[in-house]
Structure 1
Amino acid sequence: MSLNARIGRIETLLERAEPSAVELATALLDLYGEGLTRIMAAADDDLAARLADDDLVAHLLLLHDLHPVDVRTRVTEALRGTGAEVVAVDHDLVRLRLDGCHCSAATVERAVRDAAPEIERVEIERPPALIPADSLLGART
């Protein structure tokens, strides 16, 4: 089962769970989070990077705000070669500028969400046209 499928299953179960079951899940998350905090504190940079490269472990690190690579760097790396440039990262928002037509907006947005699942909004700015439409549609004399 894929990571996204597992996460979806957990979310579905939590929605249907009794309050005591949700409390139990929260307590377990806190316990595992403390364990991960200790692991990351003891890990050298090489081990931390290798842990962050694993999709499942990276998700757990993100869940507990322990990922060793900041959002901007993860998004920038994910967009390398797409023609998209990171303009700003602000909490749950990433603002991008698409340069040319290397990739579709949907492809770029998917890359951002895969690299930084904590991002809730992606805004894409397109560069101005080479020839402004106003000049093409100007008044005829």
Structure 2
Amino acid sequence: MAAAPQSDTQPEVVGTISPPQRGEFRLQTERVEKLAARLESAGDPEIRATALDLVQSVVELHGAALQRLVDSLRQTQAGEQALNEALENDLVSSMLLLHNLHPDDIETRVLRGIEKARPYLKSHGGDVDLAGVRDGIVHIRLHGTCGSCPSSSITLKSAVEDALFEVAPDIVEVVSENAATTEQSGPQLVTIK
């Protein structure tokens, strides 16, 4: 991948990482999208509208049931603990995200993913910092490389990518910035007149 041109105000972008198409939730989502596309191409507009209304009603029903379940679990400490344990399951976490019921915001989940990847990165002489999250786009800075690994920066990016998409499947994109360039350029000075 070619790096984006470097400017005085922004760090060099080394590359982007797109979400992998994997996991139970993603497979089921793809299936639902294909079926919805078939419904939308149905010849009879009345049948199409009825089928799409049915799907929307089922989604809303599931969302309402999940909301009641989450509210019920939050009533006790044991329930809160059970909810937190359930959130460690990718499918449960993804379903709560789908219905806007996940208790953690995207930045919290991204930070959890970074912490999950950090021991592996450190074992290969690297580290990662979160530069920011905006509109579902996660900006990270990778530090260091494993001198004995032929594709060390790719290995580090891949480890971070896997950890981030596992805890935050709603990420749109992960952008890896070159930490060395950012550190060398230092703080940017702005002249105020």
Aligned pairs for 1:43-58 (under 5 A) are 43-44=73-74, 45-58=80-93
Aligned pairs for 1:25-40 (under 5 A) are 25-40=55-70
The 4+ residue runs of structure 1 with deviation greater than 4 A are none
Say which of 176, 179, 182 aligns to 1:124.
Answer: 176
Q: Number of aligned pairs? A: 130
Shift of 1:121: 2.2
Aligned pairs for 1:53-64 (under 5 A) are 53-64=88-99
Shift of 1:61: 0.2
State the structure with bigger RCO (CA 8 A, min sep 6), 1 or 2: 2
For residues 75-111 of structure 1, give each alpha carbon's deviation from its aligned partner in whole angstroms, at most 9, with x where no partner exists.
1222221322212122312111111236433442343
The separation in 1 between residues aligned to 2:145 and 2:49, in whole angstroms, is: 49
Instruction: Output the TM-score relative to the length of structure 1.
Output: 0.78
Percent sequence identity over matched residues?
Answer: 28
Distance 1:118 1:3, change over 3 A: closer
Is the CA contact (8 Å cut-off) linking 1:97 and 1:126 kept in structure 2? yes
For 1:104, what is the secondary structure of its paired residue?
helix
For residues 105-126 of structure 1, give each alpha carbon's deviation from its aligned partner in whole angstroms, at most 9, with x where no partner exists.
3442343222211111222111
Give unmatched runs, 5+ long, in structure 1. Answer: 133-141
Give unmatched runs, 5+ long, in structure 2. Answer: 1-22, 40-47, 75-79, 122-126, 147-154, 185-193
Instruction: Output the TM-score relative to the length of structure 2.
Output: 0.59
For 2:180, what is the secondary structure of its paired residue?
coil
